[in-house]
Amino acid sequence: MAPKKGLMQRLDEGVVIGDGGFVFALEKRGYVKAGPWTPEAVIEHPEAVRQLHREFLRAGSDVMQAFTFYASDDKLANRGNESSKKYTCRGVNDAACRLAREVAEEGDGLMAGGLSQTPTYLSGLGKAKTQKEFQNQVDVFVENKVDFLIAEYFEHIEEMEWAVEVCVKSGLPVVASMCIGPDGDMHGVTAGECGVRMAKAGAHVVGINCHFDPFVTLDGMRKMKTALDEAGLKVHMIAQPLAFHTPDAGKQGFIDLPEFPFGLEPRICTRWDMHRYAREAYDIGIRFIGGCCGFEAYHIRAVAEELEKERGNLPKGSEKHEQWAGGLKMHTKPWVRARAGRDYWENIKPSSGRPYCACMSKPDAWGVTAGHSDLKQKTMRTTDDEIKALQQKKK
């Protein structure tokens, strides 16, 4: 059997499809707690995590990303979370890697270990302590022989550079992906400059994930690509956006929207939106195309189906899905059979069914970011008095 191709070879030769969102999908299914969004489910409910990996693999994902989002020790111990004591950073990351590797080997998948921004950075504790949090995770990833590393969900380029420095020392390919939009990071660094700085720090693949919908994300990616080209930097690009429409989101993305996190369902992108996203991303030159929060397996399948020609195959998940609604030709109702065609679905403007709801929201836009006293993290649980103070401030 020929050896499995690595990430960089696959990107040089074609398209790599990422997976979708784990924290939101598993929260809805009762395995992740909204608020901390930490991944102790890899130990408490491994069968749920394993099944979600399998759904993404069947839908066309080439990457099984270990469910290690927010799995640093400081996050696992933040604001009353006891997962650091119960399971430890090492325990959570090791379990996540083993699950991802198991499913990756059921197909031709790669396995990645992922880092995210830390409470240590947000609390202003400095580079050495922040990088120690990253190193604790990277050590486990290296021991588990991950195929590459992903530093994702960073709001500040400075912390991202610190993460990339740690990742590069592993000798593995490094993907760096920030949760920013076209306006750049939370300290005012432009999207283009963020891309340049990630590449100069040593990342092999750079881009944007989370916080914004596919099309806002791609606006940011266009700025990033322009800056990379102007700087003469040759790196691959990644996009892994939300599956929620966010045209009204502010600089901090969907977490500023009043619907976050429990009222976002009316904003969900359709599979047809994902066809458009995949095509636009590919045309920009992005070759690592996936999704983040809200992305379900059918969204990833739509990406794979749109890029069938470029990839030379369809995923197993397409066996029960004729493209552009072809399966509706078998429907009993004639008006539904009449919808069996690309022109109908590519041009539909879905209604929400909520006659008293606005189509846009007003973001909270507190402007609080690293360095602000309200973002200093602690191990003790947030008190009711602290919540009341925040609610007064919100008014």
Distance from C-alpha of 175 to C-alpha of 151, rounded to nearest angstrom: 6
DSSP-assigned states of every residue in 273-318: HHHHHHHHHHHHT--EE---TT--HHHHHHHHHHTHHHHT---GGG
371/343: higher pLDDT: 343
> Per DSSP, what are the bridge partners of residue 337?
none
If we measure between CA atoms, which residue out of 69, 63, 206, 90 comes closest to residue 147?
63
> Per DSSP, what are the bridge partners of residue 16?
288
Per-residue pLDDT, 32: 97
Sheet strand arrangement including 174-178: 16-17, 288-289, 236-240, 205-209, 174-178, 148-152, 110-115, 63-65
Tokens of 322: 């004729």
Q: From the CB of residue 253, how many other CB atoms can be counted at a distance below 10 Å?
A: 24
pLDDT tens per residue across span 3-43: 899 999 999 999 999 999 999 999 999 999 999 999 999 99
Contact of 290 with 19, CB cutoff 8 Å: yes
3-class secondary structure, 170: coil
Contact of 70 with 116, CB cutoff 8 Å: yes
Burial of 340 (0-12, 13-18, 19+ CB in 10 A): middle
| Percentage above 70 pLDDT, the chain | 97
Is the pLDDT score of 289 beyond 80? yes
Is the pLDDT score of 185 beyond 90? yes
Per-residue pLDDT, 369: 75
- Across residues 266-272, what is the average pLDDT? 97
- pLDDT confidence bin for 80, thresholds 50/70/90: confident
If we measure between CA atoms, which residue out of 326, 4, 292 comes closest to residue 147?
4
Distances (CA, A) of 83 to 33, 72, 77, 120, 363: 12, 10, 6, 17, 32
Per-residue pLDDT, 395: 63
Q: Is 210 part of any known ligand binding site?
A: yes
Q: What angle do CA 169, 218, 252 make, to 5 degrees?
A: 75
φ and ψ at residue 256, rounded to 5 degrees: -85, -15
Distance from C-alpha of 252 to C-alpha of 254, rounded to nearest angstrom: 7
pLDDT tens per residue across span 356-369: 888 899 888 777 77
Per-residue pLDDT, 379: 75
Per-residue pLDDT, 76: 93
Distance of CA 111 to the CA centre of its chain: 15
Contact of 307 with 280, CB cutoff 8 Å: no
Tokens of 349: 């403007």
- Residue 140 gets the label, from left (phi > 0), alpha (psi -120 to 50) or beta, of alpha
Contact of 222 with 230, CB cutoff 8 Å: no
Where helices occur in 211-252 by DSSP H, the ranges are: 214-230
Distances (CA, A) of 39 to 20, 114, 274: 15, 12, 26
Q: Is 167 part of any known ligand binding site?
A: no
Helix axes of 89-104 and 127-143: crossing angle, nearest 10 degrees: 40
Per-residue pLDDT, 81: 84
